Amino acid sequence: MTDGPTPAPGLSVEREDVSEEELRELGVDTSGAPASDFKRYPVLSEGGWYIVIKNQKTMETVHKEKWTLLGPVKLVTDGLHIA
């Protein structure tokens, strides 16, 4: 028995800023919302992993593209190339 257990440190998903230029290049209709309302981050959903851009106030997904099969998970053999 040891006194004083503490919760193991938490980890978080980083939500990246998106610039107005990026949104414009992606053809996103922001409906007048500033670029600061939008963030880019990975999500797991029907069909696998995606990188989405969402309006953080309305949670509307304005851009969505497939990511890798395993998303953020790296296998110990990733990058292994046997010629």
Partner 1 sequence: MTDLGVGKTPIKDLTDAEFEARYNCDRYTATVLSNRMRYIVEHMCTNLLHHAFSLILRDWYDFAATISGPASMNYPMSTVSNSLVLFSGAMEHAVRNAVEEYGPENLKPGDVLMVNDPYRAGNHVNDICFIRPVFHNDELVTFIALRAHQLDMGGIVPAGFSATKKDVYETGLVIPPMLAYENDQPVQHSFHLIFNNARYCALLLPDMITIYQNLLLGERLMKESLERYGADAWLGAINYSVDVPAESMASAIKALPDGVYEGSDLVDADGIDDTLEYEIKVKITKAGERLEVDFSGTSQQARTSINAGVFDTLTAVGVALKYVLDPKTAFNSGAYRNVDVVLPAGTICSATPPDGPVFLYWEAAQPVLLAIFKALEPAVGENAVGGDYGSLSIHNGHGVLPDGTPWVTVAQCGGEHGPWGATKTGDADSYGGFYMANNLDPATEAIESELPIVVLRKEYVPDTAGVGYNRGGASVLRDSMYLTEAHHTSSPVHTKRSSGAGVHGGKDGRNGATWLFSAEGGFDVAQRKDLIPVLDPEAYRQSTPVSGMLDPDTKAIDVEKGEYFWFGANPLWHTKPNDVFRYITCGGGGWGNPYTREPERVLVDVRDEYISIEAAARDFGVIITGDPQKDPEGLQIDQQATEARRAELRAAGMA
Residue 43 interacts with partner 1 (CB under 8 A): yes or no: yes
Please pick, from the candidates 25, 59, 81, 83, the single residue that binds partner 1 as defined by CB under 8 A.
Answer: 59
The residue (of 37 and 42) whose beta carbon lies closer to partner 1 is 42
Distance CA 75, CA 83 (A): 19
DSSP state string for 14-39:
--EE--HHHHHHTT---TT--GGGEE
For residue 18, how many other CB atoms are within 10 A of its CB? 21
12, 21, 29, 83: which one contacts partner 1 (CB under 8 A)?
Answer: 12
Of 35 and 51, the one with the shorter C-beta distance to partner 1 is 51
Cβ proximity to partner 1, 2 vs 25, nearer residue: 2
Stretch that binds partner 1, among 16-24, 25-33, 58-66 (CB under 8 A): 58-66
Decide: 47 and 31 in contact? Cβ < 8 Å. no
Q: Are 52 and 38 in contact (CB under 8 A)?
A: no
Contact between 17 and partner 1 by CB under 8 A: the answer reads no
